[in-house]
Structure 1
Amino acid sequence: MKFLIVCSSSGGHIYPGINFATYLKDHHYEVKFLGIKNQIEEKIIPQEELILCSLPKSFKKACYHPLVFFKEINFLNKIIEDFDVIVGFGGFISFAISLTPSLKKKKFYLHEANVDVGDANKFAINKAKYLFTSFKTTTLRKYQKKIKFVGNPTVDNLLINKKNRKYISFIFGSLGSKTLLDIVFEYLNKQNDQNEYLLITSKRYYNEYKNINKQNVKVIDYVEKNYLYSYSKLIFCRGGASTLSEIMNANVNCVCIPSPYVKHNHQFNNANYLFSHHALTLIEEKDFNFNKIEEAINAYQSECAKMELINQKSFYTSSPSLKMFLTIIND
Structure 2
Amino acid sequence: MSNNNKTYKIILSGGGTGGHIYPAIAIANELKSRFPNAEFLFVGAKDRMEMEKVPQAGYPIKGLWISGIQRQLTLKNLMFPFKLISSLWNARNIVNTFKPDVAIGTGGFASGPLLQVAASKKVPCLIQEQNSYPGVTNKVLAKKAKKICVAYDGLERFFPKDKIIKTGNPVRSSLLDIESKTAEAKDFFNLKNGKKTLLVLGGSLGSRRVNELIEKELEFFQMQNIQVIWQCGKLYYHQYKIYNNTKDIQVCEFLNNMDFAYAAADFVISRAGASSVSELCIVGKPVIFIPSPNVAEDHQTKNAMAIVNKNAALIIKEEDLDVDFESTFLKLSTSLEKQKELGENIKKLALVNATNQIADEVEKLLKSK
Shared topology, TM-score over 0.5? yes
- The match for 2:192 is none
| Letter aligned with residue 77 of structure 1 | R
- Alpha-carbon shift at residue 274 of structure 1 (Å): 1.1
- Alpha carbons 1:194, 1:216 under 8 Å: kept: no
- Alpha-carbon shift at residue 268 of structure 1 (Å): 1.2
- TM, length-normalised to structure 2: 0.80
- Alpha carbons 1:202, 1:221 under 8 Å: kept: yes
Q: Which deviations, in whole Å up to 9, do the C-alpha atoms of 1:220-244 show, x marking residues without a partner?
A: 4333211111000100111111111
Matched residue of 1:153: which SS? coil
- Alpha carbons 1:8, 1:35 under 8 Å: kept: yes
- The match for 1:34 is 43
Further displaced range: 130-139 or 146-155: 130-139
- The alignment-based identity, stated in percent, is 25
In structure 2, the CA distance between the partners of 1:203 and 1:141, relative to structure 1 (3 Å rule), is closer
For residue 221 of structure 1, the aligned residue among 228, 250, 253 is 253
For residue 282 of structure 1, the aligned residue among 312, 315, 319 is 315
- Alpha carbons 2:272, 2:290 under 8 Å: kept: yes
Q: Is 2:213 the partner of 1:196? A: no
- Alpha-carbon shift at residue 39 of structure 1 (Å): 2.1
Further displaced range: 303-312 or 161-170: 161-170
- Alpha carbons 1:169, 1:198 under 8 Å: kept: yes
- The match for 2:200 is 170
- Alpha carbons 2:128, 2:149 under 8 Å: kept: yes
Matched residue of 1:51: which SS? strand
For residue 234 of structure 1, the aligned residue among 267, 285, 289 is 267
Cα distance in 2 for residues equivalent to 1:101 and 1:155:
27
- Alpha-carbon shift at residue 14 of structure 1 (Å): 1.3
Q: How does 1:227-306 map to 2 (within 5 A)?
A: 227-289=260-322, 292-300=325-333, 301=335, 303-306=337-340
Cα distance in 2 for residues equivalent to 1:94 and 1:213:
40
In structure 2, the CA distance between the partners of 1:291 and 1:18, relative to structure 1 (3 Å rule), is same
- The match for 2:173 is 156
Matched residue of 2:206: which SS? coil
Further displaced range: 15-24 or 54-63: 54-63
- TM, length-normalised to structure 1: 0.89
- The match for 2:55 is 46
- Alpha carbons 1:258, 1:268 under 8 Å: kept: yes
- Alpha-carbon shift at residue 111 of structure 1 (Å): 0.5
- Alpha carbons 2:69, 2:80 under 8 Å: kept: no
- The match for 1:80 is 95
- The match for 2:342 is 308
Cα distance in 2 for residues equivalent to 1:115 and 1:69:
26
In structure 2, the CA distance between the partners of 1:184 and 1:324, relative to structure 1 (3 Å rule), is same
- The match for 1:120 is 137
Cα distance in 2 for residues equivalent to 1:67 and 1:203:
28
Q: Which deviations, in whole Å up to 9, do the C-alpha atoms of 1:13-32 show, x marking residues without a partner?
A: 11111111122223312211
Question: What are the ranges of 5 or more consecutive residues in structure 2 without an aligned counterpart?
Answer: 1-7, 187-195
Q: Is 2:44 the partner of 1:14? A: no
Cα distance in 1 for residues equivalent to 2:206 and 2:159:
38
Question: What are the ranges of 5 or more consecutive residues in structure 1 without an aligned counterpart?
Answer: none
Q: Aligned-pair RMSD on alpha carbons?
A: 2.7
Cα distance in 2 for residues equivalent to 1:204 and 1:288:
21
For residue 138 of structure 1, the aligned residue among 155, 164, 175 is 155
Q: Which deviations, in whole Å up to 9, do the C-alpha atoms of 1:191-223 show, x marking residues without a partner?
A: 423333322333543454333786443334333
Matched residue of 1:180: which SS? helix
- The match for 1:179 is 209
In structure 2, the CA distance between the partners of 1:96 and 1:290, relative to structure 1 (3 Å rule), is same
Matched residue of 2:110: which SS? helix
Q: Which deviations, in whole Å up to 9, do the C-alpha atoms of 1:148-178 show, x marking residues without a partner?
A: 1111112433141265584122221122223
- Alpha-carbon shift at residue 3 of structure 1 (Å): 0.5
Further displaced range: 34-43 or 233-242: 34-43
- Alpha carbons 2:205, 2:233 under 8 Å: kept: yes
In structure 2, the CA distance between the partners of 1:102 and 1:303, relative to structure 1 (3 Å rule), is closer
Cα distance in 1 for residues equivalent to 2:126 and 2:70:
21
- The alignment covers a number of residue pairs equal to 331
| Letter aligned with residue 353 of structure 2 | S
| Letter aligned with residue 181 of structure 1 | N
Cα distance in 1 for residues equivalent to 2:244 and 2:27:
39
